[in-house]
Amino acid sequence: MLLLGRTQMLPQFSIPDSVAFLMESGFDGVEISPFDKKFCPREEFFAPDFASKMREAMEKAGVRGYAVSAHMDFSFSEENFALVRRTLEIAHALGANYLVASPAHRYKGEDPFVRWAKNIRASRQMCAVAESLGMRLALEFEPEFLIRNTDMLLTSFAEINSPALGINADIGHMFLCDPDPMLALAQSASYILHAHVENMARGVHNHLVPWQGDMDLSAYLAKLREIGFDGMMGLDLYAYEYAEVCAESARFIKALL
- Average pLDDT value for residue range 203-213: 97
Calpha distance 25→7 (Å, rounded): 13
Q: Distances from the Cα of 144 to the Cαs of 45, 90, 106, 149, in angstroms? A: 28, 29, 7, 10
- Alpha helix segments (H runs only) across 76-161: 78-94, 112-133, 150-160
Reported as a single tens digit per residue, the pLDDT across 70-123 is 999 999 999 999 999 999 999 999 999 999 998 788 888 889 899 999 999 999
Reported as a single tens digit per residue, the pLDDT across 38-61 is 999 999 999 999 999 999 999 999
Share of the chain above pLDDT 90, in %: 95
Share of the chain above pLDDT 70, in %: 100
> Residue 70: its pLDDT value, please?
97
For 47-76, b/e burial (b = at least 16 CB within 10 A) is eeebbebbbebbeebebebbbbbbbbbbbb
Calpha distance 199→175 (Å, rounded): 9
pLDDT higher than threshold 90 for residue 213:
yes
DSSP state of 134: T
| Structural domains in the chain plus CATH codes | 2-256 (3.20.20.150)
Global confidence as pTM:
0.96
Average pLDDT, the chain: 96
pLDDT higher than threshold 90 for residue 146:
yes
